Amino acid sequence: MKEGVVALFPSSNRASMRRYFELITTIAERNIKARYRGSVLGVFWSLSNPLIMTGIYTLIFGTAFSSYYGNSILNYVLAVFMGLVVVTFFAQSSSQALTSVVANGSLVNKIKIPLSVFPVSIVVANLFQFLVGVLPVIVFVTLFASHNPERVLLLIAPAVSLLLVTVGASLAVSALFVFFRDLPYIYELMVFIIWMTSPIFYPEDIVPPHLRVWVHLNPIAAIANDIRQIAFNPLAPHLHTLALTLSLGGLTLVLGAVLFVVLQPLAMDLL
Amino acid sequence: MPVIDLREVSLWRRTQEEFHYDLKRFVFNLLRGRHRRPNRRQVLEGVNIAVHAGEKVGIIGPNGSGKTTLLKVICGILAPTRGTVNTFGVIAPLIELAAGFDVELSLVDNIVYYGLLLGIARRRMLQHVERILDFAELGEYRNEPVKTLSSGMTARLGFAIATEFRPDILILDEVLAVGDEAFQRKCRQRIDALWDDHVTILVVSHNLDFIVRSCNRALWIDRGRIVYDGAPYEAVLRYRLKVEEQRLAAEQARTPMVLVAPNHSNSKYAGQVFAYFEGRLHLVVDRNWMNQSGLDDAEAIRFNDEILDRIPLGETIGTLRGITAG
């Protein structure tokens, strides 16, 4: 049973750790290359989705909500954009990761590979896109709005939280998909619910006060809030707010990883 | 010390039924208390093997007896339900060579990726790219995507990568020969070189003569159990005898046996005549033959309801004479 109980890593020795990380980077690289073959704009496509969505939300809700953003449409635009990049990163990565283990079913039946490399490398591929396409824009907006380079450093906290949440959710859904092949439809609905219940394109102030605690427990909403606080609020955000978001991210990762480790040995029979 | 050591290894696997493939139904069943554990089947049972360095072990047995599953357990692809598996050294599985390729990517990218799957570091793999392309005779395609290769070329590439490095333990699921005549000779030379080397080899094959010729030990597996472990000649001889025995038994099963349910009893089959062949019970409609063949009900008394219930009932047939003749 020694082998079966082993967690996400095949074993703790250095050679297999190195193999694990090389597998992740190589599969992620392969993923990126396949995605942008022949596309001149390459990774910058990742910006197009949140930009277009921001445009649409601004057209529809811009005037209605601008009073919550100091009567400035520009502030609304920036706030929506900062929220959208968070939720799109989460939704795209985890939805792509969902099928990744099953898609490699025939491969893992032929060579010993830790199953977790597939969802994790999908997140890494999306992270690369994020770092190249979206992050510079976030940094620029933060500098532009706050005139304070220190704020840029604070962005690391919500960015790490986002990564933790996304890896956790990706591990969970990719393992569950092995057992429940109707999961994509249900997960699509869940992502939609997360999207709608996070104050992304509407101000948090319109959420009824007794429901607001749920907004703060929703890691995606918490991350989006932190980024906006850092970028737009004249007062620096409390460090304990950032720490709380980080621990929400850590909790999601732990839950996802535990689920993955528990399901992994059972999954091989259905791949 | 053995390089492969399996102790009391048993493996149960879940049968692939559609039962749990649906989250909606799963939750629904759970709520109604109708959730049942998925069926599991025992694939390996109490397997003990100790293979020493340099041994060439052939594995024989009928289809579905657990040969490939055993290889998967040794490779670490499947974890045993019970028992322990210990292996020492680099294991190279040579199962279905084209499995690891991404057809959209170039040959060079695929070589590096494939090497990683086999556990070889990226930097080391890059140093071997030229040699691999040379052996596969595909140097001119290095930057083309793999999908431009023919299936024969793809298999050549797979073989060249997988045999580039000398593993400690080589796992072969059927011996492979790929490509055209000339390339097959090259393949054989490479395999032979590994064979002569001190490499430990495990090979599954239905070619029994090959096992006798090339291995110095053979395992005969049947229904997940090791039936015989020893000299290849002995193993193959015993296996062939068993296969012949089973063929004869199957032939016997095809000749029908006549069953008559007792007339006087209150059996639900009372008075009916059956023919039993091919593992099924056939209801015989025409009873005239009974008088002619002088059969009486007493002969059929041992076939009580309990036994008849257990045999699946096949279709109704016209006369018994027809069957016996056929």
Question: Mutation test of the interface with chain B: which of A3, A27, A263, choosing the one with the most B Cβ atoms within 10 A?
Answer: A3
Average confidence score pLDDT of chain B: 78
A45 or B133, greater pLDDT: B133
How far off is chain B from A8, nearest CA to CA, in Å?
14
pLDDT for residue B225 is more than 80: yes
The pLDDT of B83-91, averaged and rounded, is: 86
DSSP type of residue A217: H
Among the partner-chain residues A106, A107, A180, the one whose CB lies closest to the CB of B22 is: A180
Among the partner-chain residues B24, B95, B104, the one whose CB lies closest to the CB of A110 is: B95
pLDDT at res. A17: 82
pLDDT at res. A18: 82
- Of the pLDDT bands very low, low, confident and very high (cuts 50, 70, 90), residue B300 is very low
Q: B182 — contact with chain A (CB < 8 Å)?
A: no
Indicate yes or no: CB of B21 within 8 angstroms of CB of A179.
yes
pLDDT at res. B323: 46
pLDDT tens figures, B151-160 = 788 888 888 8
How far off is chain B from A199, nearest CA to CA, in Å?
29
| H/E element, A25 | helix A14-35
A163 or B241, greater pLDDT: A163
Q: How far apart are CA B190 and CA B297, in angstroms?
A: 70
Sole residue written with tokens 């360095």:
B53
Question: Mutation test of the interface with chain B: which of A27, A108, A110, choosing the one with the most B Cβ atoms within 10 A?
Answer: A110
What Å distances lie between residue A2 and A191, A258, A268, B67, B117, CA to CA? 37, 17, 16, 22, 22
For B252-256, which contacts have Cβ atoms below 8 Å and span 24 or more sequence positions? B253/B277, B253/B278, B253/B279, B254/B278, B256/B282, B256/B320, B256/B323, B256/B324
How far off is chain A from B131, nearest CA to CA, in Å?
21
How far off is chain A from B182, nearest CA to CA, in Å?
28
Indicate yes or no: CB of A181 within 8 angstroms of CB of B22.
yes
The pLDDT of B68-75, averaged and rounded, is: 89
Indicate yes or no: CB of B100 within 8 angstroms of CB of A110.
yes
Residues in a beta bridge with B11:
B44
What Å distances lie between residue B143 and A52, A135, B154, B285, CA to CA? 36, 32, 14, 73
How many residues are listed for chain A in this entry? 271
Indicate yes or no: CB of A30 within 8 angstroms of CB of B102.
yes
Chain A residues near residue B80 by CB distance under 8 angstroms? 1, 4
List the single residue in A with minimal CA-CA distance to B102.
Answer: A30
Indicate yes or no: CB of A107 within 8 angstroms of CB of B109.
no
Chain A residues near residue B20 by CB distance under 8 angstroms? 179-180
The pLDDT of B129-156, averaged and rounded, is: 86
ipTM above 0.85, yes or no: no
Strands B169-173 and B200-204: parallel
Q: How far apart are CA A171 and CA A115, in angstroms?
A: 10
Q: How far apart are CA A11 and CA A270, in angstroms?
A: 23
Q: B103 — contact with chain A (CB < 8 Å)?
A: no
> Is the dihedral angle over the CA atoms A224, A230, A234, A240 positive or is it negative?
positive
- Of the pLDDT bands very low, low, confident and very high (cuts 50, 70, 90), residue B293 is low
DSSP type of residue B97: G
Token pair for A169: 């959710």
Among the partner-chain residues A23, A113, A183, the one whose CB lies closest to the CB of B23 is: A183
Positions in chain A whose pLDDT score sits under 50: 1-9
How far off is chain B from A25, nearest CA to CA, in Å?
10
Chain B residues near residue A270 by CB distance under 8 angstroms? 14, 16
Number of domains in chain A: 1
Q: How far apart are CA B140 and CA B142, in angstroms?
A: 6
pLDDT for residue B126 is more than 60: yes
pTM of the model: 0.79
pLDDT at res. B146: 85
What domains does chain B contain, in order, with CATH numbers?
91-244 (3.40.50.300), 257-325 (3.30.2390)
| Closest C-alpha to B14, from B35, B42, B33, B50 | B42
Residues 6+ apart with CB under 8 A from A161: A219, A222, A223, A226, A245, A246, A248, A249
**Whole domain around residue A254: which residue ranges?**
2-270
How far off is chain A from B323, nearest CA to CA, in Å?
43
Residue type, A233: N
Residues in a beta bridge with B280:
B277
Indicate yes or no: CB of B119 within 8 angstroms of CB of A19.
yes
Chain A residues near residue B79 by CB distance under 8 angstroms? 1, 3-4, 265, 268
Interface of A to B at Cβ within 8 Å reads 1-4, 15, 18-19, 22-23, 26-27, 30, 33-34, 37, 106-113, 176, 179-183, 186, 265-266, 268-270
DSSP type of residue B266: -
pLDDT at res. A84: 92
Question: Mutation test of the interface with chain B: which of A22, A25, A181, A263, choosing the one with the most B Cβ atoms within 10 A?
Answer: A22
Question: Which has the minimum average pLDDT: A45-49, A119-123, B123-127, B166-170?
Answer: A45-49
Q: B18 — contact with chain A (CB < 8 Å)?
A: no
pLDDT at res. A75: 87
Class of residue B186 by CB neighbours under 10 A (exposed 0-12, middle 13-18, buried 19+): middle
pLDDT at res. A190: 93
Chain A residues near residue B93 by CB distance under 8 angstroms? 110-112
> Is the dihedral angle over the CA atoms B215, B218, B221, B224 positive or is it negative?
negative
CB B222 within 8 A of CB B195: no
Residue type, A243: A
> Does residue B63 come out as left (phi exceeding 0), alpha (psi in the -120 to 50 range) or beta?
beta
Token pair for B202: 């495990």
